[in-house]
Structure 1
Amino acid sequence: MPHQNPFIDQIRQAIPKMRKSEVKVAQYVLNNVEAVIHMRIVDLAQEAMVSEPTIVRFCRALDLNGFQAFKVRMAQSNTVHHSLGQFAIAEDDTSSDIIKKIFDTSINQIITTRNFLDSAQVAAAVDALNKAKRVEFYGFGASGAVAMDAMHKFFRLQFSTVAYSDPHMQCMSAVTLQKDDVVVAISQSGRTKDLLHSMEIARQQGVHVISLSPPNTPVSDLADLPIHVDIKEDTDVFTPMTSRIAHLLVIDCLAVGVAQRKGPDFDEHLAKVKKSISSLRHNEKSNK
């Protein structure tokens, strides 16, 4: 028996109530589920041979507020979900069971994040970062660990950069930022009050604020360059797991994008950085 997909079933059931042009969109989506996840609204309109407003009406016919929300539902419904929050640990689970559940859930959630990630959002963030002289990373808890990792990556890229997970330090630092500087605000929930306060101060300074957070949350709405990362986790039982990994991967995308913009001449600088820390590593030959 084939695996049932509730969202695909919802689209099929909604077709009788749709306009003729919206039905064309529905039929294209049903026949091209994998491809649609990676499309922009202009691409889907062209392939389904309808207008972009028709795509928006199609989304609203499914009780969604727009094309981005539709893509999220498509990506989520196309992934085999487990539970910890997404997967459940039983008392008699072996270490092998726990390993499989955690890895399988993380892999599936990361694929969902990749499919949902808006390349235009990432490109806009890379543009802002590439022009910045100073880049600051703000986050609390597990997001603070992501901020620290991001600081290390961007320090290697010759940025004046720092990571703060203390609200007072965030505020004091944000007020000293200048135009074209960048703040990257990282939040698994998108609703952290102290982070929002720091972002407000940064915005008042006229700097770009990039967010890594779920869509339609206060953090995402406040940022002028939001990057949507939406992973549901049971943080009442466990600290954020997969969302932390997903945020790290998005930071990697931003760092690689910036390094690419710096051109091939920048490779010499990275080689010098690598050489500078090579003496800190144990040499296997010296142990023989």
Structure 2
Amino acid sequence: MLRIIGTTSREIQTVKNHPVLAEIEAARPTLRKSEVKVADFVLQQPEQVMHMRIVDLAQEAQVSEPTIVRFCRAIGCNGFQEFKVRIAQEMAVARNIGQFAIAEDDSIEDICSKIADTTIQRLNQIKNQLRPAQISAAAQAISTARRLEFYGFGASGAVATDAQHKFFRLQVATAAYSDPHMQAMSAVTLGDEDVVVAISQSGRTRDLMHSVELAQQHGATVISFAPQNTPLSEAADIPVFINIEEDTDKFIPMTSRIAHLMIIDMLAVAVTQRRGPDFSAHLNAIKRSIKSLRIEN
């Protein structure tokens, strides 16, 4: 059980239900520059922050202690102590729900429950961490692209194929490649009107980084789906941060793949919206074209 030293019952009762990390993300565009430094540090290291004193956080974020107080109030906390309580409770929930391990003697009910609970919690975590500005920038780039290419290996290659299936219906010239040689050949044929979406659970795949570098050398815009502070996210023109840790020693990535698919859906809807109301006639025509392939009741 998590214990928070020096916290009164009144302070615990004031803790709000809404995730504080999501509130920080939402408030970030309206914060002062010094407060943004605090926000970025907290979002990157929430586990460390909940054990800090105000002077420690001020030193790490390179701001003054009054700035920390203003930051806490800007995200709806009465002060630093309440802010730490909310961080600690959110981290406790994430640990209790988000961590699972399959044991040798687990029943099928145990397996189903563990995987379903973890997937739901991780998707909610991604939603809270999501930066809408990144999705908006990616959707805008895709909306104006001459060609749209999706690159990924392994489980990420399956996501790339699903993305191609969604976006070719939106009248975007699109392709998906999960072979390094095909990616390299694709990359050198791109230009400054083209977009690459590079997908990676680790953000550190050497062959994918090579394909991205080639695409950028030829003028293409690169969107990445990868964890923050990884080589792929730092190299991308438009990074979309998807921070999920998975045990890939025993199992293939599961929740990261589903999170990537969720982001693909967000982008597809955003691009469709940018097409305007007249575009619905095209989508209806696609639905009619495949209706004859289905068995009627």
What TM-score, normalized to structure 2?
Answer: 0.77
Aligned to 1:37, the other structure's residue is in SS state helix
Measured in 2, the distance between the counterparts of 1:83 and 1:91 equals: 20
For 1:77, which of 91, 96, 114 is the aligned residue?
91
Q: 1:202 to 1:94 in 2, by over 3 A?
A: same
In the alignment, which residue of structure 1 is the partner of 2:153?
Answer: 140
2:225 maps to which residue? Answer: 212
Report the equivalent of 2:2: 4
Structure 1: stretches of 5+ with no match in the other structure: 14-28, 46-50, 67-72
Partner of residue 28 from structure 2, selected from 21, 32, 41: 41
SS in 1 for 2:223: strand
Q: Which amino acid aligns with 1:37?
A: A
Superposed CA RMSD in Å reads 3.0
Q: CA deviation at 1:113?
A: 0.4
CA contact (8 A) 2:20 2:90 kept: no
Q: CA deviation at 1:195?
A: 0.2
- Which of residues 280, 283, 288 in structure 1 aligns to 2:293? 280
Corresponding residue to 2:256 among 213, 227, 243: 243
Over 3 Å counting, the alpha-carbon distance change for 1:37 and 1:212 in structure 2 is same
Contact 1:76 1:112 in 2 (8 A): no
Q: Deviations over 1:116-141 (max 9, x none)?
A: 01000000001100101210000000
Q: What is the CA–CA distance in structure 1 between the aligned matches of 2:115 and 2:149, rounded to whole Å? A: 31
Q: What's the counterpart of residue 100 of structure 1?
A: 113
* Match runs of 1:112-131 below 5 Å: 112-131=125-144
Q: Which residue of 2 aligns with 1:252?
A: 265
**Residue 173 (structure 2) aligns with:** 160
Identity in percent: 52
SS in 2 for 1:121: helix
Once residues 127 and 146 of structure 2 are traced to their aligned partners in structure 1, the CA distance between those partners, rounded to angstroms, is: 29
> Using the alignment, how far apart are the partners of 1:150 and 1:64 within structure 2?
38
In 2, Cα distance between equivalents of 1:247 and 1:135: 17
**Amino acid of the residue matched to residue 2 of structure 2?**
Q
Q: 1:82 touches 1:105 (CA, 8 Å); kept in 2?
A: no
Q: Rate the CA distance shift 1:278–1:76 in 2: closer, same or farther, 3 A.
A: farther
Structure 2: state its 5+ residue gaps. 8-13, 43-55, 64-85
**Matches of 2:93 and 2:284, distance apart in 1:** 39
Deviation for aligned residue 1:275: 1.0
SS in 2 for 1:135: strand
Evaluate the alpha carbon distance shift between residue 76 and residue 272 of structure 1 in structure 2; reply closer, same or farther with a 3 A threshold.
farther
Q: CA separation of 1:153/1:233 partners in 2, compared to 1, >3 Å: closer, same or farther? A: same
Post-superposition offset of 1:52: 2.9
Q: Point out the more displaced range, 191-200 or 271-280.
A: 271-280
Contact preservation (8 Å) 1:212, 1:229: yes
**Residue deviations 1:166-190 (CA, integer Å, cap 9, x gap):** 0000010111111121000000000
Distance 1:233 1:266 in 2: 39
Q: 1:178–1:205: 8 Å Cα contact kept in structure 2? A: yes
TM-superposed CA distance for 1:221, in Å, is 0.5
- The total of aligned residue pairs comes to 252
Say if 1:156 and 1:54 are closer, same or farther in 2 by CA, change over 3 A: closer
Separation of aligned partners in 2, 1:110 and 1:64: 28
| Distance across 1 between alignment mates of 2:141 and 2:33 | 28
- The residue number in structure 2 matching 1:150 is 163
The one-letter amino acid of 1:245's match is I
Secondary structure of the corresponding residue to residue 168 of structure 2:
helix
Structure-2 residue corresponding to 1:25: none
Q: Which residue is 1:223 aligned to?
A: 236
CA distance in 1, matches of 2:178, 2:102: 31
d(CA) in 2 for partners of 1:256 and 1:221? 26
Match of 1:56 in 2: 37
Q: Distance in 2 between matches of 1:65 and 1:174?
A: 41
- Residue 19 of structure 2 aligns to a residue in which SS? helix
Asked if 1:200 is matched to 2:213, the reply is yes
Distance 2:195 2:62 in 1: 30
